[in-house]
A and B are shown apart, each in its own frame.
Chain A
C-alpha cells in the first residue's frame, strides 16, 4: 500500500509523532521508519512527504537544520516548541477519528 488519500489525512500527525519519538530525522529516514514500523505495508512516498514537511515548517511546527554528512548537505527536521505541544492533541484527534470511523464502517444494513 503506497501513500493514498486515507493516509494523507493523517500524514502530518504521523510526522509529528515520529519526530516526537526520534528528536530529529531527515526525509528519507522518515519514509524508511514508516516502512519499518508497518512492516512494509505502508510506503510513504517523498512526493507526499515533502509537501507535508514544508507545510508543517511553514506553520511553525517544525524547524530544520543542515548538517554535512558524507560530503553532502542533509536537512534534518525537528519539532519546535509549538510543534511539541501540538503532538498530543493531534494524536488524540486522530485516535478519536479512527474510533468514529470504525463505528461507522461497522454499521451495515441487514439484508433479508
Chain B
C-alpha cells in the first residue's frame, strides 16, 4: 500500500516527537514508512506505528537506548580523531606550532603587557570553538532545513565545553600560584616561583590551545562531510 501525504505528515510528526537527533530521525522515519507500506492495509496509522515501534525497536526506551549508544559510538570516534590530531602536534611537522608558541611565550613573559595578551588569547581559545561550531551547525541546519541537532555536533560541542573547564582550572591554578607566598610553598625566592608558575601555566595554556585547534580541525572535517 502507498501512504497518503497526510499519513506521511502524521508519521513525520510521530517520529519527530520520538527522536532527538536528525540522523536517527531519518533512519526511523524511513523504516516506519517502509514497514507500514509493506502491510496489506492500515486502519489506524498511530496504532500501526506504535506496534512497529514496539516490535522492532522495543518501544520508546529502545529508541532512547539506540540514540544513547549511537551517541557514545560517535563520541568515541570523534575523540579518537581529536587525539590523533592532538598527538600530531608532537611529531614532525606539527611540532613546529607548539615550538613556535613556546618561543613566543618565553619572549613574551619578559614584557608585562604579554599577560594581557595571554588573557585575551585564553578568551579567544575558549570562545572560538563554540562560535565556529554553533555558526557552522546553524548554517548546515538552515541549508538542509534540519530541525534537529546532529549527534556528531553534540559530541564535538561536548569537547568544546571541556576546553572551558580546562582553562577555568588553569586560571585558578595560575591565580593560586600568584597568591601563595613562595616562601611557604617553594623554598625559592618569590620571583623564581613566579617564573616556575608562568612556565607551568604557559605549558598548560599551550596544551589547551592545541586541544582547541584539534577540536576545530575535527569539526572542519565533519562539516565538510555533511556538506558534501
- Residues of A that sit less than 8 Å from B by CB: 26-28, 31, 45-47, 50-51, 54-55, 57-58, 66, 69-75
Contact = CB atoms under 8 A, between A and B. Distances in A.
Given A72-B30, A73-B26, A47 B56 contact: yes
Contact of B30 (A51, A58, A75): A75
B134 interface: no
Nearest to A46: B56
Contacts of B56: 31, 45-47
A75 B27 contact: yes
A27 B31 contact: yes
A51 B34 contact: no
Given A51-B69, A54-B69, A58-B76, A28 B31 contact: yes
A58 B74 CA distance: 7
6 tightest A-B contacts by CB?
A58-B73, A46-B56, A73-B26, A47-B62, A47-B58, A47-B57
B45 interface: no
B66 A50 contact: yes
Contacts of B29: 72
Interface in B34-86: 34-35, 55-58, 62, 65-66, 69-70, 73-74, 76-77
Interface of B: 8, 26-27, 29-31, 33-35, 55-58, 62, 65-66, 69-70, 73-74, 76-77
User: Which applies to chain B's interface (DSSP): helix, strand, loop or mixed?
Assistant: helix
A73 B66 contact: no
A46 B56 CA distance: 5
A55 B33 contact: no
A26 B30 contact: yes
Contact of A50 (B35, B70, B76): B70
A46 B74 contact: no
Given A58-B74, A58-B76, A75 B58 contact: no
9 contacts: A27-B31, A46-B57, A47-B56, A47-B57, A51-B70, A55-B73, A58-B74, A72-B26, A73-B26
A74 B30 contact: yes
A109 B209 CA distance: 67
A58 B81 CA distance: 11
B27 A47 contact: no
Nearest to B57: A47
